[in-house]
């Protein structure tokens, strides 16, 4: 069959992210014998025009829309992206007879809403590189793929889905041949990293999280030796800035340790990052081997340094774990980005102060602290139930494509915004979502690349903010 996969994401903050999922799906469909093209809309000046041209070239039987972001998860400056799908779907319907299939992280989060919204024929929830070729095979035989695990559709106005995740990593395919499908240089010249996933699934039960919907509760691992080989291959191709995009990189601990030990032995010429470290599994052994493996930046997603709030979020760790992680970080050179999410369940002015106090006491000035305000509520999460009980959320799930946020009823948004703004003004290593949403951040990324600055740019937060202040910018 002729297949066009469209990577629809055009959001460039904090950096444009390479559409790994779309490329994996395209490559799998090609391996299954189909003729496949990928259209990446990220840098297209006129996306509809680009789409029309591609439709003419390939005359597709199936068009797969890869949908990464519903919105920017930002309560202070909310932006939605899902509306961009309508003109794309209309163009596809008007110009072709093709079957429209949705996939991508956003689709796993809100499949029913996106199917109804776009009028697409099918949605795939999860591992597209496994399910999509099977779906294409069914369609090529004029069979309906209603029995396939991981497929969802609307049947006579009723939403239907087949759950069940399929084994992955069995064929050793961790990363696609990016340069076959997308303009890799365009990404690299904006300081984007090359994504790599070493496992799927998460055993934690944080109340707001959608990740288990995307990847499931059970872990599915990639063999550590295979991860090392893949990273070595990427380095040989000149792709050296590599980011682990696992839900939580250091859980399970032994898996992360085995990967880092393998990399420390093989010593490929790479600059590694992961922004998804859990304080529960931070120790000197891991950080030492991460440094040897080539890590140049890590992020710890602690969300809060208040025990009450950590309990409300069901993070599965305590303030002691957070403090211990900070002590471990202090003993190592590796730059660290601390990620907090303020305003969750049980948050009060006192708990916010506890978190600020922790940042003041435990976080080195050379590290960076990111404060996010409010939590995006997704249908099917415990946070949704809580928000409904507390009267914070009243709209039905079908209307939740438009971003809705949780803010603890014990906290005033004005106070929280003011408090964080004040903290930012006195600490040059603190940032918030306004910083990530800066309109000139893409230009800054490009400038950084030209000046030879290596990713991650956040390592230089203090200097960048100081420089921008000299130009009179209050950032
Ligand atoms: C790592 C990560 C990041 C990293 C990315 C680093 C990098 N170099 O890529 C960073 C920190 C930069 C980041 C930033 C953001 N992220 Co993020 N991120 C993730 C995370 C944890 C993993 C994404 C990933 O790469 N997965 C691995 C690949 C292989 O999977 P995949 O792309 O989903 O593809 C598979 C399937 O989706 C499917 N598939 C994909 N395309 C297609 C197409 C078709 C046709 C089919 C059939 C199937 C299919 O098959 C693929 C292979 O199995 C996800 C959560 C998650 N568990 O998915 C959030 C997630 C994708 N991020 C999200 C968001 C919101 C953001 C930000 C907007 C946050 C912000 N305000 O800055 C930015 C946007 C960045 C941008 N420019 O677009 C949301 C998106 C959904 C939503 N709520 O809108 C997610 C789902 C988290 C969440 N809150 O639920 N992110
Ligand atoms: S640890 Fe991360 S991925 Fe796992 S449930 Fe919590 S927020 Fe989600």
Rounded to an integer, what distance in angstroms lies between the CA atom of residue 156 and that of residue 17? 37
Secondary structure of residue 415 in the 3-state scheme: helix
Question: Angle 178-182-183 (CA atoms, 0-180°, nearest 5)?
Answer: 110
Point out which residues pair with 243 in neighbouring strands: 195, 273
Buried b (16+ CB within 10 A) or exposed e, 329-368: beebeebbbbbbbbbbbbbeeebbebbbebbeebbeeebb
Ligand 1 mean position, distance from CA 410 (Å): 31
Look at ligand 2, atom 8, and give the residue with the nearest C-alpha: 209
Instruction: Check if CATH label 1.20.140.10 holds for domain 193-373+407-470.
Output: no
User: Token digits for 113?
Assistant: 């809403």
Question: Angle 336-360-410 (CA atoms, 0-180°, nearest 5)?
Answer: 105
Q: Could you tell me which residues come within 8 angstroms of residue 239 by beta carbon, excluding any fewer than 6 positions away?
A: 178, 184, 188, 194
Question: Residue 168: is it exposed, middle or buried by C-beta count within 10 angstroms (0-12/13-18/19+)?
Answer: buried
Ligand 2 pocket list (CB less than 6 A): 202, 204-206, 209, 211, 247-248
Contact 458, 445 (CB under 8 A): no
Tell me the pLDDT tens digit for each residue of 311-369.
999 999 999 999 999 999 999 999 999 999 999 999 999 999 999 999 999 999 999 99
Q: What is the mean pLDDT of the chain?
A: 95
Secondary structure of residue 163 in the 3-state scheme: coil
Q: Is 209 in the pocket of ligand 1 (CB under 6 A)?
A: no
Mutate to test the pocket of ligand 1, among 1, 6, 12, 17 (most ligand atoms within 8 A of CB): 17
> Could you read off the pLDDT tens digit of each residue along the chain, which spans 475 residues?
999 999 999 999 899 999 999 999 999 999 999 999 999 999 999 999 999 999 999 999 999 999 999 999 999 999 999 999 999 999 999 999 999 999 999 999 999 999 999 999 999 998 899 999 999 999 999 999 999 999 999 999 999 999 875 655 545 557 999 999 999 999 999 999 999 999 998 999 999 999 877 888 888 899 999 999 999 999 999 999 999 999 999 999 999 999 999 999 999 999 999 999 999 999 999 999 999 999 999 999 999 999 999 999 999 999 999 999 999 999 999 999 999 999 999 999 999 999 999 999 999 999 999 999 999 999 999 999 999 999 989 999 999 999 999 999 999 999 999 999 999 999 999 999 988 878 888 888 898 999 999 889 999 999 999 998 888 887 7
Look up the pTM and report it.
Answer: 0.97
Tell me the pLDDT tens digit for each residue of 96-146.
999 999 999 999 999 999 999 999 999 999 889 999 999 999 999 999 999
User: Token digits for 252?
Assistant: 């399970």
Q: Strands, DSSP E only, in 283-403?
A: 295-303, 336-342, 368-373, 375-376
User: Token digits for 133?
Assistant: 């070729």
Domain boundaries, the chain: 2-161, 193-373+407-470
Instruction: Check if CATH label 3.20.19.10 holds for domain 2-161.
Output: no
């Amino acid at each position: 069959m002729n297949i066009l996969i469209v990577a629809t994401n055009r959001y460039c903050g904090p950096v444009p992210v390479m559409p790994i999922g779309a490329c994996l799906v395209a490559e799998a469909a090609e391996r299954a014998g189909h003729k496949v093209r990928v259209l990446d809309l990220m840098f297209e000046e006129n996306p509809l025009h680009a789409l029309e041209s591609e439709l003419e070239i390939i005359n597709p039987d199936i068009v797969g829309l890869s949908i990464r972001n519903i919105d920017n998860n930002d309560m202070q400056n909310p932006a939605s992206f899902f509306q961009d799908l309508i003109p794309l779907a209309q163009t596809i319907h008007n110009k072709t007879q093709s079957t429209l299939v949705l996939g991508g992280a956003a689709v796993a989060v809100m499949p029913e809403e996106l199917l109804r919204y776009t009028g697409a024929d099918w949605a795939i929830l999860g591992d597209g590189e496994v399910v999509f070729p099977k779906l294409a095979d069914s369609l090529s035989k004029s069979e309906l793929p209603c029995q396939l695990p991981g497929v969802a559709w609307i049947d006579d106005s009723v939403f239907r889905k087949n759950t069940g995740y399929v084994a992955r990593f069995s064929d050793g395919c961790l990363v696609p041949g990016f340069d076959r499908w997308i303009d890799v240089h365009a990404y690299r010249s904006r300081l984007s990293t090359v994504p790599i996933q070493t496992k799927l699934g998460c055993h934690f039960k944080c109340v707001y999280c959608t990740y288990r919907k995307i990847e499931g509760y059970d872990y599915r691992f990639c063999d550590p030796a295979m991860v090392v080989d893949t990273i070595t291959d990427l380095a040989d191709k000149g792709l050296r800035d590599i980011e682990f995009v696992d839900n939580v990189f250091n859980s399970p601990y032994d898996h992360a340790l085995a990967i880092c030990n393998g990399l420390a032995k093989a010593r490929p010429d790479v600059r590694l990052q992961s922004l998804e470290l859990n304080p529960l599994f931070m120790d000197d052994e891991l950080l030492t081997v991460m440094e040897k493996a080539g890590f140049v930046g890590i992020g710890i997603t602690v969300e809060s340094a208040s025990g009450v709030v950590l309990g409300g979020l069901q993070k599965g760790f305590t303030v002691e774990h957070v403090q211990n992680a900070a002590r471990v970080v202090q003993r190592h050179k590796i730059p660290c980005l601390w990620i907090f999410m303020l305003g969750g369940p049980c948050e009060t002015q006192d708990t916010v102060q506890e978190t600020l106090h922790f940042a003041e006491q435990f976080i080195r000035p050379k590290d960076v602290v990111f404060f996010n305000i409010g939590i995006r509520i997704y249908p099917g999460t415990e946070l949704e139930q809580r928000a409904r009980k507390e009267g914070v959320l009243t709209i039905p799930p079908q209307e939740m494509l438009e971003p809705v946020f949780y803010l603890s009823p014990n906290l005033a948004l004005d106070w929280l915004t003011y408090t964080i703004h004040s903290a930012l003004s006195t600490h040059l290593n603190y940032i918030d979502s306004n910083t990530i949403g800066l309109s000139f951040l893409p230009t800054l990324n490009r400038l950084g690349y030209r000046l030879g600055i290596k990713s991650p740019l956040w390592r230089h937060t203090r200097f960048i903010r100081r420089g921008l202040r000299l130009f009179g910018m209050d950032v």
